[in-house]
Chains A and B, each alone.
Chain A
């Protein structure tokens, strides 16, 4: 048998999208390996999650009933214990923020080679994984010469598997005492509440690293004023403290779906695109004609924002 063990991701009572995607990735890999796909569901209301994840292509669901929320000691320990029990060829874990917190520990304690943040997987006498490098400027292929192996998969790269089926659910006993864990979750905090909710805006003017200096933000403020738009930004602007966190669009910020999203000086890293690809019309201004933002733009202006934006302000003054 050459099975695949995949681990589901959930948070605060809801199964996260990447779980449905990792089932697709796991099914495809299990087909290549001619094996079964096992899905682990760890912590929280595991029966409800198992029901949600009873999907065509999953051969068995293993529930680990322990703890309410994510804890990396629980996830790493339970995944490693399931690995010992099932002896799969591949362990797939999500490259989510929680995945980053336990997947490397799983690979380390099981002594498995780890391919992180894979965007495609193929198996033919060995694993070949595709991943990005240099800030998404290139894709690379890596081959893994040892088995078993561990992979973390990037969210949004595999189509969600939604078709339901009756999947056998087995409870897997794993003893866990959260109070003995060296890292204990105390709670959650929603960040980015504040004066405006950019998720409500119809027209977002969004600014990125290309603005170069904090004082140059005045230019964007002026554009926002004459057009009646709402200002948002990519991560570096918030990291620099130039705009508050509630203005940040992207994976760790807000997801927005305005009628028009005007991206100014934003290259379009995958984490940013995750937050704005649902906009109806995307317009990008960037000096780099190869910037990935143009891949998802409906309208593109290859040019210097310091020339184009003042001219645009004049149009509406």
Chain B
């Protein structure tokens, strides 16, 4: 069995930041493995530990900088990685359809039985690529999975989809499938020192559009970002100021006044 995990390196903005053009200034951004993808990687690695002959391959669309994040996934137990990038991809404003085309080409190349992706990316939060990909490649799918059990013959999975308001939907999904993974599915491991050492010798294959049988049209997008701004603050909170003990004193007064503290 082969599992393909999509892994995105996402940017997180510092508490204090400035917008430059249509994005946050590069100096205010820190890059890390997307939190949802961390759970997807863990799910894939656990399956490879449970069953014999499971290969876990990660796929990333991202620049060379992303290799640090990819190494982290390799250190956690991913067997090898694919990184899709070239000048045309770099120049594009990738929308869901473009990412779908790129990952579909990777799927064609790798022929996985199961694709795991995070529900969404922490930075742009479209939350759409996994299901779009499933539809494109003709796999079955389930979105927002927070519990996963596989049949031992790996023909299907019993999943829980986390709906709103503390309700979970119990769904059976046939393989091959794409599952989009919600946080909390498992406990993502930390990379061990041994894992980090091993990751250094694992393969990160680079693919450009031509290597995937695509051209620049594949990353053309009719959606473009035209503006970014900080939302106006709507706060009309009464701020309790002073040193910590003064703040605590005022807060205690508020709580007593509201009559919620039993003394």
Residues of A whose CB lies within 8 Å of any CB of B are 11-12, 70, 72, 76, 95-98, 100-105, 107-109, 111, 113-117, 128, 131-146, 149, 152, 182-192, 202-203, 227-229, 235-236, 238-241, 245, 248, 251-255, 259-260, 262, 281, 283-284, 288, 290, 294-304, 307-309, 311-312, 314-316
The contact of A114 among B130, B132, B170, by CB within 8 Å, is B132
- Contacting residue for B235 out of A98, A103, A297, A309, CB 8 A: A297
Q: How far is the CA of A152 from the CA of B228 in the complex (A)?
A: 20
Provide the bound-state CA to CA distance between A248 and B42, in Å. 23
Cβ of B164: which chain A residues have Cβ within 8 Å of it?
A: 96-97, 251-252
Provide the main secondary structure of the chain B interface: mixed
B107 interfacial contact with A, CB 8 Å:
no
B163: nearest residue on chain A (CB-CB)?
A97
What's the least CB distance linking A188 to chain B, in Å?
A: 6
Q: B residues engaging A (CB < 8 A)?
A: 11-13, 15-17, 19, 22, 24, 95-97, 100, 119, 122-132, 134-136, 140-144, 158, 160-174, 177, 180, 183-184, 187, 221-231, 233-235, 237-240, 244-245, 247-249, 251-252, 254-255, 258-263
Looking at B12, B128, B142, B173, the one whose CB has the most chain A CB atoms below 10 A away is: B128
Q: Point out the residue from B129, B132, B263 that lies within 8 Å of A316, measured CB to CB.
A: B263
B226 → A minimal CB distance (Å): 5
A41 to B168, CA, bound (A): 22
The reply to whether A134 and B24 contact each other, CB–CB distance below 8 Å, is yes
**Contact A298 B97, beta carbon cutoff 8 Å:** no
Q: Measured between alpha carbons, how far is A157 from B3 in the docked complex, in Å?
A: 38
B245 — nearest CB in chain A belongs to which residue?
A311
Hey, which chain B residues are within 8 Å of A100, CB to CB? 119, 127-128, 131, 143-144, 180
Contact call A188/B169, Cβ cutoff below 8 A: yes
In the complex, are the beta carbons of A202 and B15 less than 8 A apart?
no
Q: Shortest CB–CB separation between residue B103 and chain A, in angstroms?
A: 12
Contact: B223 with A143, CB < 8 Å?
yes
Is there contact, CB below 8 Å, between B237 and A300?
Answer: yes
Q: Which residues of A contact B245 (CB under 8 A)?
A: 311, 314
- Complex Cα distance A229/B124, Å? 37
Report the separation of the CA atoms of residues A92 and B263 in the bound assembly, to the nearest whole angstrom.
53
Decide if A303 touches B125 in the complex (CB within 8 Å): no
Known: A138-B19, A254-B165. 10 other contacts (CB 8 A): A100-B143, A103-B128, A105-B141, A107-B132, A182-B140, A183-B174, A188-B170, A203-B260, A300-B235, A300-B240
A141 partner residues in chain B, CB cutoff 8 A = 225-228
* Nearest B-chain residue to A204, judged by Cβ: B260
B240 and A239 contact, CB distance less than 8 A: no
> What are the residues of chain A within 8 A of B239 when measuring CB–CB?
299-302
A299 to B238, Cβ gap below 8 A? yes
Complex Cα distance A140/B180, Å?
A: 25
Q: Are A144 and B222 in contact (CB under 8 A)?
A: yes
